[in-house]
Structure 1
Amino acid sequence: MFAKGQTVIQLMEQLAPRHVAMEGDKIGLQLGTLQKEIKQVLVALDVNQEVVDEAIRIGADLIIAHHAIIFRPLAQLQTDTPAGRLYEKLIKHDIAVYISHTNLDVTEGGMNDWMAEALGIESTDSMEDVHTDKLFKLVVFVPKDHHQKVLEAVLNAGAGHIGNYSHCSFNIEGYGTFLPGEGSDPFIGQPGKLERAEEIRMETIVPASLRSKVIQAMLKNHPYEEVAYDLYPMDLKGRTFGLGRVGKLKEPTTLGEYAELVKRELEVPFVRVVGDMEKKIRKAAVIGGSGGKYWRSAQFRGADVLVTGDVDYHTAQDALAAGIAFIDPGHNAEKIMKRKVADWLSAKLAEQRSATKVAASEVNTEVFVVR
């Protein structure tokens, strides 16, 4: 059985939640519909004519890409322009395009973690915080014999996480009173008669991003017709998502040697290097895409070098003068996401026993050639 488009995207957003994307980022469904069965997914860095031809060739119904195909509002859609021809071909072949960009960059186990792992950067921290989940305390009163069922439901929905601990809750027994009114259908007691029931006050932590999911799970498993519960905002910080990664290398090396490692591990044809090739590199930072402007954040966190793409001349001058090196593998180094996303999504679909297949694009979208 093939997965519906919405199901594929729900799985994708487990990896890269929409709410952690940077403000204004062009993410989500950009073309086509998800209201259909998806037999084949193609994961790509960019969507150009060659990638669309590849999608047609393998029978893809959906492309999941990192870079948006629509950056600004369209005043018109002319099919005699390069962009127009691209959209026309996608529409004619009923291929939807979904974008996962900065949300894939900042998420745990996403783009910047993959790049850091490839480059031997250990015990990583984020370079620049982007999003912190607000936390709420959920308090709900549950009849004693339904307590375990409701508790498991809300914890399985994502409640109860504090730092590195999960399934956190507090539970205390007591008595609840209520008087069912006319027209009610109480789980316990009778209309018009004051009822006294053994209940458990259950408390747990709920992140804002999972609030609706947790409440729905609680209501679905709670036996009462009218559920008594409260949500309190908390000062305690929740999970933080950030751009880039910085950490110590497995082994100290020189800038020149590290540049060769970056070139090899990110499978790029060339790198540009700013700094003394003999400089000792013990701590490195990496950020996918165009991250040159974050060199001060990298240096503040103790990095000797920042690996990122699209570094401009004056930014390189400023960083060099301040004592931090650059290794620029180009923007296309983000192609590491193709195989990683394809493997992750394939595994999730297999868990659901879906027949939907996922392939990593084999098209090289690098636009630069060194002669």
Structure 2
Amino acid sequence: MNKPATGQDVIRLFESWVPKHLAMEGDKIGLHVGTLNKPVHKVMITLDVLENVVDEAIEKEIDLIIAHHPLIFKPLKKITPDDEKGRIVEKLIKHNITVYAAHTNLDIAEGGVNDLLMDQLGIEDREVLIEMGSEELVKVVVFVPETHQEEVREALGNAGAGHIGHYSHCTFQTEGQGTFKPLEGTNPFIGKQGELEKVDEVRMETIVPVSILSRVLKAMEESHPYEEVAYDLYPLKNEGKTYGLGRIGRLEQPISLKEFAEHAKQAFKVSGLRVTGDLTRQVQTIGVIGGDGNKFISQARRKGVDVLITGDLYYHTAHDALGMGLSVIDPGHHIEKVMKNGVQTYLSRQLSKNGYDTEVMVSEINTDPFQFL
């Protein structure tokens, strides 16, 4: 029978997708309340940690809440039941519920919030809108007996090594002979203690993003037959995948701004949205920045974006966008709720794959503060 994951297990699997180093400087990500050093039977995914969301978590006997928007963004001067924030923290601690936040790292990660929004729009041909850097890469070289090279290669590839463009399991190998002498206290796979052993081996090379290196090395060691695995790591100057905020993509055919706005309204299931620009104008290149994208309108226009979808659009920013020929659609900040199902799907799959009996559910509370009348 499978056992529940610990909080550390859950976050380790989660951060293999949305590592902390992707977050923008100063972002309040990570552990906010409670401990990860405990068994976690139930995880709940939410956009916001409000009091009614915490009440829902208490009712459902949740052990860990994973939120997109940080619970504590500004320092708390006091914790008292006289205000909502204080009551939230009090209830969380009283009921042993842990809160963890993944904010801009979830926005930036491949397959994260902005890709999920593009999925809702049905735009598949996309790239990063606001480039912020590229993945650091290393070359892993491991020496494997010829008899086990296929097992090790498969394990490396399945762990994420050897991905180049749209190709996976990319390796290069050369044949050679390895030597070793097992000393006292060893339990060698091949050879005898005190005797020099010569083995036909393969030098296997592959490329690995630093963000998943520990996972790849663990898979390599678990699949390798030797008691002590010989491997080398080489830093590379090759640039890995570009990462950054927002996404840019193209519709298959240009349509009017009005038609596209109606499509966005249906895709995001909102009762209304704000649009700037000539509704009869033909548009094709679409930019998306989940949350507040006001400060990125100039960069979006320089990238050739016809329409930028973002939330919390300011009055004067809308005028600036009009002046530079950029249309903006504001369906609200709350469309980031797409992350709830996205995170649930990913974590459920990973926990099951790793043999953990931990349930992942989404919060059913609507945390959008606005209503359209």
TM-score (norm 2): 0.89
Maintained 8 Å contact 1:111/1:334? yes
Q: Structure 2 counterpart of 1:39, which letter?
A: H
1:307 aligns with 309
Specify the alignment match of 2:268 in structure 1.
Answer: 266
Percent identity (aligned): 52
In the aligned structure 2, how far is the partner of 1:238 from the partner of 1:283?
Answer: 25
Stretch of structure 1 that moved more, 326-335 or 32-41: 32-41
Out of 292-301 and 167-176, give the one that drifted further. Answer: 292-301
Look up the match of 2:117: 115
Alignment CA distance shift 1:215-1:240 (3 Å)? same
Q: Which runs of 5+ in 2 are unaligned?
A: none
Cα-to-partner distance string for 1:254-300 (whole Å, 9 max, x where unaligned):
22232222222212232122211222111211110001222222222
The alpha carbon displacement at 1:323 in A equals 0.5
The one-letter code of the counterpart of 1:319 is A
Of the three residues 338, 341, 353, the one matched with 2:340 is 338
Aligned to 2:368: 366
**Separation of aligned partners in 1, 2:273 and 2:361:** 28
What is the one-letter code of the residue matched to 1:248?
A: R
State the secondary structure of the residue aligned to 1:231. strand
Once the two structures are superposed, the pairs formed by residues 68-147 of structure 1 within 5 Å of their partners are 68-147=70-149
**Contact (CA 8 Å) 1:175, 1:198: kept in 2 or not?**
yes
Q: 2:200 and 2:308 mapped to 1: Cα distance?
A: 60
Query: In structure 2, how many angstroms separate the alpha carbons of the residues matched to 1:370 and 1:220?
Result: 56
In structure 2, distance between residues paired with 1:366 and 1:227: 53
Please give the alpha-carbon distance, in whole angstroms, between the structure 2 residues aligned to 1:184 and 1:349.
Answer: 35
Q: Report the secondary structure of 1:167's partner residue.
A: coil
Relative distance call for 1:198 and 1:50 in structure 2 (3 A) is same
Distance 2:155 2:70 in 1: 37
Alpha-carbon RMSD across the aligned residues, in angstroms, is 2.6
Q: Residue in 1 aligned with 2:299?
A: 297
Q: Provide the residue aligned with 1:175 in structure 2.
A: 177
5+ residue gaps in structure 1?
none
Residues 154 and 344 of structure 1: CA distance in aligned 2, closer, same or farther (over 3 Å): closer
Distance 1:201 1:266 in 2: 51
Partner of 1:121: helix, strand, or coil? coil
> Which shows bigger deviation, 189-198 or 23-32?
189-198
Return the offset for 1:101: 1.4
CA separation in 1, counterparts of 2:297 and 2:188?
62
1:91-240 → structure 2 map (5 Å cutoff): 91-178=93-180, 188=190, 195-224=197-226, 226-240=228-242
SS of the aligned residue for 1:150 comes to: helix
- Structure 1 pair 328–138 and aligned structure 2 pair: CA distance change class (3 A): same
CA contact (8 A) 1:20 1:130 kept: no
TM-score under structure 1 length normalisation: 0.89
Residues 141, 229 of structure 1: 8 Å contact kept: yes
- Do the aligned partners of residues 197 and 309 (structure 1) sit closer, same or farther apart at CA in structure 2, a change above 3 Å counting? same
Q: Take 1:183 and 1:117, find their aligned partners in 2: how far apart are those partners?
A: 56
In structure 2, what is the Cα distance between the partners aligned to 1:96 and 1:318?
42
